[in-house]
């Protein structure tokens, strides 16, 4: 079957839906989004949905000083200066506008609070309703529907169609139909990363083998990267694969109970009851630190007030119940009782907690220099301990794009008719993406891709 469109978007995750909407707003009459799975959302859906935006409205209310330049430097430094400064500049400069667009035009509800993600200099991460990507995907889908954008579910794209030196369409296959989608203005690839593709992970980084679980949804297998590579696209930074430090030791899923840490409470300890890393360090640093502890596991320790303050018990009820049922989380009245549940050295943990409370009182963490305000533990309890391991979370590498989201070929020139946005792209976050920067990235570059696919033709 042949379908004639103005714009074809590959992938109905956050980046793809944003791009499709923006293409429509910039004059595309017919826009199709091809989605491999039976549902939209990809990794965006299962993420916390937090959005890093300098000078945002919560910062204003709380009197937190921030700037585009500080954010720019954080992104670059957080990725060991491996990101392309030109792309990072675009991201930093447009992040706030993207957040306002989501809030005001897409109608995404943000909570009246922020989180402090590791590696950022200041607290700047907006939290969508219920602290998951569900809110964003739900509202983007509603807008796409309102604008008459058609999403083809269970229709994986398989190949880009090239005419001379221009991408003019996409081949896709559903269970019943072989499609040829013609794309008059162009194709936008937004198919996400390759965290669920063990073979592809190992092709670029042998260390990220099948012993490491993944937080990703199963559809995230690098399809867009492979398709674009076949038409000459340049790949960047493919070896940089991020693990998220606190995941489910059974399934690999990202554990939202870990957000107690990002809300400013809790410490991470090892089997010996000792801290071993700054709890607000970068994800890669914390992950590596956990890997080198006995048993390669971490235990997140916190008290009731810290759990209450983070809102996790209320937002992620199902997960908390799951964790209790699977003996990955314990609640106890004394530190000893909690420690004994996991065979952690209780005496050491008590000492660690006393020491941390001393640091909190004096306002300085003498061991790991934890940033932000230190929240002491209430010695009366109750206490919680969660067991967690690192799992593959984000692939920093992917298609090289320019500031206009055009896909770049081996000679450094844009491939005509081909755009990309989101996790499928590389060379923005360098060696390591900071938490809450991806939602900003997909929004900013999704919008740029959707706009430019219409303007440059
Ligand atoms: P981003 O954050 O960059 O938007 P996501 O992971 O949220 O990335 O979304 C990527 C989407 O692309 C997912 O919904 C995934 O199922 C979809 N996808 C992956 N490969 C293909 C493909 N070959 N054809 C169509 N959709 C795809």
DSSP assignment of 329-344 equals: EEEESSHHHHHHHTT-
How many helices, marked H, and strands, marked E, lie in the chain? Answer: 16, 18
Cβ of 284 less than 6 Å from ligand 1: no
Ligand 1 midpoint to CA 423 (Å): 9
DSSP one-letter string for 30-42: -EEEE-SSSSSBH
Cβ of 192 less than 6 Å from ligand 1: yes
Please tell me the distance from the alpha carbon of residue 406 to that of residue 403, in angstroms, as a whole number.
Answer: 7
CA of 40, closest atom in ligand 1 = 14
CA of 18, closest atom in ligand 1 = 4
For 271-291, the pLDDT digits (tens) are 999 999 999 998 889 998 998
CA of 15, closest atom in ligand 1 = 4
Please tell me the distance from the alpha carbon of residue 94 to that of residue 364, in angstroms, as a whole number.
Answer: 35
CA of 438, closest atom in ligand 1 = 2
Cβ of 14 less than 6 Å from ligand 1: yes
What are the structure tokens assigned to 99, written together? Answer: 């957040």
Task: Please report the sign of the dihedral spanned by the C-alpha atoms of residue 432, residue 138, residue 53, residue 119.
Answer: negative
CA dist 162 → 113, 152, 170, 187, 196 (Å): 47, 22, 9, 11, 28
What are the structure tokens assigned to 363, written together? Answer: 């306002």
Please tell me the distance from the alpha carbon of residue 393 to that of residue 288, in angstroms, as a whole number.
Answer: 14
Please tell me the distance from the alpha carbon of residue 338 to that of residue 357, in angstroms, as a whole number.
Answer: 18
pLDDT < 50 positions in the chain = none
Per-residue model confidence (pLDDT) at position 142: 98
Look up the pTM and report it: 0.91
Which amino acid residue places its CA nearest to atom 16 of ligand 1?
Answer: 219
Which amino acid residue places its CA nearest to atom 20 of ligand 1?
Answer: 191
Cβ of 118 less than 6 Å from ligand 1: no
Nearest by Cα to 233 from 293, 281, 187, 285 = 187
> Which DSSP symbol is given to 354?
H
Please tell me the distance from the alpha carbon of residue 134 to that of residue 111, in angstroms, as a whole number.
Answer: 14
Ligand 1 midpoint to CA 44 (Å): 9
Ligand 1 midpoint to CA 411 (Å): 27
**Phi, psi (5° rounding) for residue 283?**
-60, -40
Cβ of 430 less than 6 Å from ligand 1: no
Please tell me the distance from the alpha carbon of residue 254 to that of residue 186, in angstroms, as a whole number.
Answer: 35
Peptide bond into 136 cis (omega under 30): no
Cβ of 426 less than 6 Å from ligand 1: no
Nearest by Cα to 414 from 452, 366, 367 = 452
Please tell me the distance from the alpha carbon of residue 200 to that of residue 420, in angstroms, as a whole number.
Answer: 20
Contact predicate 217/223, CB 8 Å: no
Ligand 1 midpoint to CA 11 (Å): 4
The residues annotated as belonging to the active site are 283
Cβ of 170 less than 6 Å from ligand 1: no
For 348-383, the pLDDT digits (tens) are 999 999 999 999 999 999 999 999 889 999 999 999
- Whole-complex ipTM: 0.98
Bridge partners, residue 394, by sequence: 242
Rg (CA), the chain: 22
What number of CA atoms fall less than 13 Å from residue 275's CA on the CB side?
23
Ligand 1 midpoint to CA 60 (Å): 34
């Amino acid at each position: 079957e042949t379908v004639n469109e103005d714009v074809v978007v590959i992938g109905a995750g956050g980046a793809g839906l944003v791009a499709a909407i923006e293409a429509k707003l910039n004059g595309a009459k017919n826009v199709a989004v091809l989605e491999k799975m039976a549902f939209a959302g990809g990794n965006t859906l299962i993420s916390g949905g937090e959005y890093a935006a300098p000078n945002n409205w919560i910062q204003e209310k709380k009197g937190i000083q921030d700037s585009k330049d500080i954010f720019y430097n954080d992104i670059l430094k957080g990725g060991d200066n491996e990101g392309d400064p030109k792309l990072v500049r675009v991201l930093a400069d447009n992040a706030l506008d993207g957040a306002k667009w989501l809030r005001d035009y897409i109608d995404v509800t943000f909570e009246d609070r922020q989180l402090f993600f590791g590696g950022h200099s200041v607290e700047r991460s907006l939290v969508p309703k219920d602290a998951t990507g569900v809110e964003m995907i739900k509202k983007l889908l509603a807008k796409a529907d309102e604008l008459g954008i058609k999403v083809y579910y269970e229709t994986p794209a398989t190949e880009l169609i090239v005419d001379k030196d221009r991408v003019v369409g996409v081949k896709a296959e559903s269970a019943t139909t072989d499609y040829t989608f013609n794309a008059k203005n162009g194709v936008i690839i937004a198919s996400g990363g390759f965290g669920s593709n063990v073979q592809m992970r190992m092709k670029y980084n042998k260390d990220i083998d099948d012993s490491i679980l993944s937080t990703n949804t199963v559809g995230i297998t690098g399809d867009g990267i492979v398709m674009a590579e076949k038409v000459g696209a340049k790949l960047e930074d493919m070896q940089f694969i991020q693990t998220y430090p606190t995941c489910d030791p059974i399934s690999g899923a990202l554990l939202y109970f870990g957000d107690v840490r990002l809300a400013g409470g809790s410490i991470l300890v090892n089997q010996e009851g000792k801290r071993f890393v700054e709890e607000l360090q970068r994800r890669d640093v914390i992950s590596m630190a956990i890997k080198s502890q006995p048993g390669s596991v971490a235990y997140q320790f916190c008290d009731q007030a810290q759990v209450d303050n983070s809102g996790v018990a209320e937002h992620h009820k199902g997960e908390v119940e799951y964790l209790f049922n699977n003996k990955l989380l314990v609640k106890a009245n004394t530190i000893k009782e909690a420690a004994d549940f996991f065979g952690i050295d209780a005496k050491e943990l008590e000492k660690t907690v006393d020491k941390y409370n001393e640091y909190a009182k004096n306002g300085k963490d003498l061991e790991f220099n934890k940033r932000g305000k230190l929240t002491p533990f209430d010695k009366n309890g109750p206490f919680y301990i969660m067991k967690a391991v690192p799992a593959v979370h984000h692939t920093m590498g992917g298609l090289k794009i320019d500031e206009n989201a055009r896909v770049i070929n081996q000679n450094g020139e844009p491939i005509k008719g081909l755009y990309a946005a989101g996790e499928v792209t590389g060379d923005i976050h360098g060696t390591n993406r900071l938490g809450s920067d991806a939602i900003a990235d997909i929004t900013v570059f999704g919008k740029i891709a959707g706009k430019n696919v219409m303007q440059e033709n």
